[in-house]
């Protein structure tokens, strides 16, 4: 016995809607990645050992370019400048004397050349001493915020050890990982949307770095499937860095197929 099935007309609109829904699945969708805010701190340190005498900033202060950050004791450097100034004065006298002797035919060209060489060396020595003295004061090369103060007045700091950590706004960046299947949709210069807790809406960042080497998902980042997979590190510079804080977790969103 044959069983015949008939398609009733009321079912056709339902099938059409289902087909349209399936077609809509191929449209580009946004996908979201997890990341965090990181900073490239500028560590300001002295060239030579010294004792901190001046500290003009505290943690959290905003400073402008050219602002004095700290100063070290400079007694030895000032004394060295005085010695070099005296040496320069003697070298200048020697050069002037050699010129007079050569004009009166009592001196030689070699004596004048030697005197000129001594004078140039004395000038260079004084310039070097002046630079050493000037560098006992540290100034902000860029505007930013003081993230950390490592030494206080009265403490001795070694050469190359930072006294303060300065963070320019442009040194703030968003770091996130994109899975292997999605990294092709991201390009240098692409704008991404960044969201975070208590952040205003509409924050964006521009992709500046995409790692060429794959790595495994870090333990602090979990995918929706909660399984390890190959990912690529990506960095983006926010358009409004003052809206973020270092170490803050963020969500990064971009549209598939975006350029």
pLDDT tens for each residue of 167-197: 999 899 999 988 888 888 889 999 999 998 8
| Rounded percentage of the chain residues whose pLDDT exceeds 90 | 62
With residues binned 3-state (H G I as helix, E B as strand, rest as coil), the percentages for the chain, rounded to 5, are 30, 30, 40
- 75-134: CATH topology is Helix Hairpins (1.10.287)
pTM: 0.72
Label residues 76-112 b or e (16+ Cβ within 10 Å = b).
ebeebbeebeebbeebeebbeebeeebeeeebeeebb
Domain ranges in the chain with CATH number 2.40.50.100: 42-72+137-167
> Mapping DSSP to helix (H, G, I), strand (E, B) and coil, where does residue 103 land?
helix
**pLDDT tens digits, 45-101:** 999 999 999 999 999 999 999 999 999 999 999 999 999 999 999 999 999 999 999
CATH says 30-40+169-255 is which class?
A: mainly beta
CATH of domain 42-72+137-167: 2.40.50.100
Question: How large is the average pLDDT for residues 217-242?
Answer: 71
Query: Could you tell me where in the chain the CATH 1.10.287.470 domains are found?
Result: 75-134
Higher pLDDT, 233 or 14: 233
Choose the weakest-confidence range: 12-26, 91-105, 148-162: 12-26
């Amino acid at each position: 016995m044959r069983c015949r099935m008939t398609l009733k007309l009321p079912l056709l609109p339902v099938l059409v809607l289902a087909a349209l829904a399936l077609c809509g699945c191929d449209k580009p969708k946004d996908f979201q990645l997890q990341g965090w805010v990181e900073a490239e701190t500028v560590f300001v340190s002295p060239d030579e050992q010294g004792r901190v005498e001046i500290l003009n900033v505290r943690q959290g202060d905003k400073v402008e370019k050219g602002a004095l950050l700290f100063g070290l004791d400079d007694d030895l450097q000032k004394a060295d400048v005085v010695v070099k100034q005296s040496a320069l004065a003697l070298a200048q006298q020697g050069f002037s004397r050699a010129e007079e002797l050569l004009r009166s035919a009592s001196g030689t060209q070699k004596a004048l050349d030697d005197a000129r060489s001594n004078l140039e060396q004395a000038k260079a020595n004084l310039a070097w001493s002046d630079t050493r003295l000037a560098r006992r004061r540290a100034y902000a090369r860029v505007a930013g915020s003081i993230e950390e103060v490592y030494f206080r007045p009265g403490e001795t700091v070694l050469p190359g050890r930072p006294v303060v950590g300065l963070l320019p706004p442009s040194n703030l960046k968003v770091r996130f990982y994109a899975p292997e299947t999605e990294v092709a949709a991201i390009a240098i210069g692409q704008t991404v949307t960044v969201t975070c807790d208590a952040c205003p809406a509409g924050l964006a960042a521009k992709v500046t770095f995409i790692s060429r080497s794959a790595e495994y998902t870090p333990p602090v980042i979990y995918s929706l499937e909660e399984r390890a997979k190959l990912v690529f590190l990506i960095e983006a510079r926010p358009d409004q860095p003052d809206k973020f804080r270092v170490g803050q977790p963020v969500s990064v969103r971009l549209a598939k197929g975006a350029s």
